Structure 1
Amino acid sequence: MFKEQGNEHGADQLIALLDVAEQLPGATGLRSRSYELMGAAPGRTAVDVGCGSGRSVAELTEIGVKSVGVDPDERMIEVARQRWPREDFRIADAYELPFADATVDGYRADKVFHELGEPDRALDEARRILAPGGRIVLVGQDWDTYVIDSDDLALTRTIVRARADLVQGPQTARRYRNLLLAAGFTGVAVEVHTGVFTGPAMLPVVIGLAEGACSADAVIREQVDVWINEQRTRAETDRFFLALPLFVAAGTAPR
C-alpha cells in the first residue's frame, strides 16, 4: 500500500504488496467509489496519477473512460504495460503531467500524495489539466493512524510514529480538504473508509512498519524481533488485528 521509490528489486516488492492490497476485502469497492466520485462515465477522460501496475487504468477503460496512467517509476510503467498492453501508460510525475491545459475530465491519485514534498504544486498542476467542472479524487492513509493490537502498546506507538517519520508527508491525508480548498477546488468533501484486517494477508505491512522503525534507529533489533514474532503468532492463531482508515477527498475544478 506504499508508493515509495527505489531500485527495480524494491519496485518489484512494492508491486507484490500492491497486488495483495488490491485483492483485500473492500479494496475493489473503494476503487469503484473513487471512480464514482471522479465522475467516471463512458466518453470521459481521466488520468490516474501514480498508477503503479495499472489496475485502475484498466478498470476505468472497462467502464468506457479514456484513461491514462502516469508514474515516475520506470519499472512500474514497464509492468503496467506488460499486464495491460492495450492501455496508455506514461512515465511522468505529479508536477509535470503530459496533458494540455483544461483537457482532462477526471484526476485520481491513490496513495500518492504522502510521497510528495510539494502537494500544493501537484494540485496546481491538477488544476491546470482539468477542464472546468472536472473532478479530482485523492485517496490515502494518514501514517499516524495505523491501529495495531499488540501486547506492547508503547512499543507499537513508537514503531508507528517512527515509520511515519520516514515518509515525506505522513499527515498529508488529513490535509486533503484544506489543500484542495487552497488550490481553488469547490464542493470539497472527505470520506473515511476504514479497513479492518484480521488475517495474515496484511502481516507484511506491520512487519514493514517495524523494519522501518528499526532502520531509523527508533527501536533496537531485539525489540523488533520480539514484536514481529508476536504479530506472526497472532496471524497464525487468528488473533491479528490491524485497522487502517483511508481518506477519500473529492472536489470540482472551478468553471
Structure 2
Amino acid sequence: MTSFAFETVTPDAFAYLDRVAATDLGRSYKRHVLDELGIRPGETVLDLGCGPGTDLGALAEAVTATGAVIGIDYDRAAVDAARGRAAERSNVTVRLGDLHDLPLPDHTADRARTDRVLQHVADPVRALREARRVLRPGGRLVMAEPDWGTLTVDHPDSGLTRAYTQYVTDEAVRNARIGSQLARLATDAGFTVPMVVPVSPVFRDVRAADGILGLERTARRAVGAGYFTEEAARRWLDHLTDGPFLAVVTFYIVVAES
C-alpha cells in the first residue's frame, strides 16, 4: 500500500484539533458557529466537549470580562490542557464532566455550542436534553457536525469509494450520519430548530484532505475490517496520489433554541 503523500501515523488528538482549527475550512465554519451563537457581552456560554480548549479564547472575547465561559469535557487530559490554555482568562472555567449528565444546575447558560462532539457520544438525544436543561428559556445551542455518509472521494472505480465510505459510517465513527439527523434529534430533545446550514467543503489537494480525513490510515483499518482487499486499497490510494483529486463531505451547522 502506498504511503506517498499520506500520513501513516495517527496524529496526537489535541494537535489534530488545533490543526483543523487553523485551516481555512476550520476558521470559516467556526466563525459561522460563533456568528450564529449571537453572544452578547455579559452572557454565560458553554463549550460542550471543549477538548483542549481550542475555542475557549474566542468565546471568552465574545462574552467580554463581564461574562463567563464554561468548558466541559469528559477527558481529564483535555480538561488539564484547556485549563492551562485558559489560565490567564478570569472569565473562563473548565470542568470535568459528561455531556449526558452535565455538572450544572438548570438554566445556567445563555448560549452553548458543540463542535464535532455529538458524532462520538453514546446517546446524542440524552446529551441534547441535558444541553436544553442547562440553557435558560430562550437560550441557543449551535452545533457543528458532519454527515460522513455524504463523503465522496472521486475515483474511476466508484465501488472502492463506496466501500471506504461504508466503513467510515459502519465502524469508524459512532454516530456517523448525525449531521443530517441533528434537526430531528434536537426537536426530539425539546428544542425548536430555526436554522440548518449545510457546508460542503471541496478538497482538491490530497495532502490537505489527508490532514483532515486520514485517508490511508482509514483505508488500512477498512482492510482489516474486510471492506477492502489489500490490493483494492492500494489501487484506490495510488489513484488518489497520482490522479486529479477531489473529495467532498457535507457538514451541518444547526441552530436550536430552548
TM-score by length of 2: 0.85
Distance in 1 (alpha carbons) for counterparts of 2:242 and 2:52: 32
Task: Give secondary structure in 2 for the equivalent of 1:246.
Answer: strand
> Cα–Cα, structure 1 residues 226 and 187, in superposed 2: closer, same or farther, change >3 Å?
closer
Of the three residues 184, 187, 201, the one matched with 2:190 is 184
Does residue 1:231 correspond to 2:240, yes or no?
yes
Q: Do the aligned partners of 1:195 and 1:243 also contact (CA within 8 Å) in 2? A: yes
> Cα–Cα, structure 1 residues 191 and 149, in superposed 2: closer, same or farther, change >3 Å?
same
Report what 1:247 is aligned to: 252
Report what 2:6 is aligned to: none
Report what 1:35 is aligned to: 34
Q: Do the aligned partners of 2:146 and 2:250 also contact (CA within 8 Å) in 1? A: yes
Task: Give secondary structure in 2 for the equivalent of 1:101.
Answer: coil
Question: How many Å apart are 1:80 and its aligned residue?
Answer: 2.4
Report what 1:71 is aligned to: 73
Report what 2:106 is aligned to: 101
Question: How many Å apart are 1:75 and its aligned residue?
Answer: 2.3
Which aligned pairs between 1:131-150 and structure 2 lie closer than 5 A?
Answer: 131-150=136-155
Task: Give secondary structure in 1 for the equivalent of 2:42.
Answer: coil
Report what 2:121 is aligned to: 116
Runs of 5+ consecutive residues of structure 2 not aligned to the other structure = 1-8
Question: How many Å apart are 1:168 and its aligned residue?
Answer: 1.8
Report what 1:85 is aligned to: 87
Task: Give secondary structure in 1 for the equivalent of 2:131.
Answer: helix
Report what 2:174 is aligned to: 168
Distance in 2 (alpha carbons) for counterparts of 1:197 and 1:207: 16
Q: Do the aligned partners of 1:43 and 1:66 also contact (CA within 8 Å) in 2? A: yes
Question: How many Å apart are 1:187 and its aligned residue?
Answer: 4.3
Deviates more, 1:183-192 or 1:122-131: 183-192
Report what 2:14 is aligned to: 15
Question: How many Å apart are 1:108 and its aligned residue?
Answer: 0.6
Runs of 5+ consecutive residues of structure 1 not aligned to the other structure = 1-8
TM-score by length of 1: 0.86
> Cα–Cα, structure 1 residues 215 and 74, in superposed 2: closer, same or farther, change >3 Å?
farther
Distance in 2 (alpha carbons) for counterparts of 1:140 and 1:203: 19
> Cα–Cα, structure 1 residues 24 and 30, in superposed 2: closer, same or farther, change >3 Å?
same
What is the total number of aligned residue pairs between the two structures?
240
Task: Give secondary structure in 2 for the equivalent of 1:88.
Answer: strand
Report what 2:5 is aligned to: none
